[in-house]
Amino acid sequence: MKVADVYIHGEWRWPDTWVTRYPSLLDLQHFTSHSADKVVWRSSSGLELDYGTSSVWNDIRTAHDEVPWSDMVWFPQAIPRHSFFMWLLVNKKLKTQDIMARWLSSGNMNFNLMCCSLCTLGPDSHEHLFFECPYSDQVWKGVKDLAGLHNVTNSWGSIYDHLVHFRGSKNAKHVIGRMVVSAAGYFVWQERNARLFSTKKRGANRLIEVILTTVRMKLHTMRFKRTSQVDSILQDWSLPRGLVIEDDDCG
């Protein structure tokens, strides 16, 4: 209900039931404002905010300290489905076989029957899939140079440390590093699932191609600030020089 519905021709016209319940309504002074009705949100600290889902959400949510990996998982150039995947990976929430074995240990499922669908050498886990598995390792080696991560090993710990170290950096090399790791993880996980639940199989070289093509397509939509580093990145990725602009951040 709006104020205009109960304030008519200079008089308050409260519904009878309201007055019975809240007699103090009769003591209300005349209404003197001529501004238009609007919806406001009174915050937990008593401020009147313009109503909007974001202001309400920020008021009612419990805010925690920012986690170190937030800018590494969510960044402007990221591919949303890859970010969602990275969020699960960083938090080790993917349903890998080592985790499922713990759930099933009381049942009659045999853990020994589970094995990594990429290498069939043993059960998979976050560490194994990203990227210690021989198949994933081959994929990692095939993409890490273009990602500017030559010196980073195939262990998730070292990849994570590197990305967290450069989180928030807008340097093209660091942005591309984040994009390639997210895409590599996403497609390795997709391949792992495809092999478990279907008969489809792609070799490591094919997967490398898919990862690099996906990132290259995304790079095509970005604009880069001119530096000598950017010139060589464009060359390495076979991207047109027209993506360089003179005075802005990449992306």
Question: Where does this chain bind Zn ion (CB under 5 A)?
Answer: 116, 118-119, 133
Least separation in angstroms between CB 186 and Zn ion: 17
Least separation in angstroms between CB 120 and Zn ion: 7
d(CA 114, CA 107): 14
Nearer to Zn ion, 85 or 131 (CB): 131
Least separation in angstroms between CB 112 and Zn ion: 15
Nearer to Zn ion, 118 or 176 (CB): 118
Nearer to Zn ion, 25 or 119 (CB): 119
Least separation in angstroms between CB 208 and Zn ion: 16
Nearer to Zn ion, 71 or 127 (CB): 127
Per-residue tokens: 25: 């309504």
Least separation in angstroms between CB 58 and Zn ion: 43
Contact 69, 90 (CB under 8 A): yes
Nearer to Zn ion, 75 or 189 (CB): 189
Q: What is the CA radius of gyration of the chain?
A: 28
Per-residue tokens: 62: 């419990």
Number of helical (H) and strand (E) elements in the chain, helices listed first: 12, 6
Nearer to Zn ion, 184 or 219 (CB): 184
Nearer to Zn ion, 133 or 210 (CB): 133
**Nearest CA to 134 among 197, 203, 215?**
203
Check the CA dihedral 236-169-248-176 and report its sign: positive
What Cα–Cα distance (Å) separates residue 232 from each residue in 87, 131, 173, 228, 240?
A: 31, 27, 10, 7, 11
Least separation in angstroms between CB 137 and Zn ion: 9
CB count, 10 Å around CB of 186?
21
CB count, 10 Å around CB of 158?
13
Least separation in angstroms between CB 116 and Zn ion: 3
Backbone angles phi, psi at 244, to 5 degrees: -85, 130
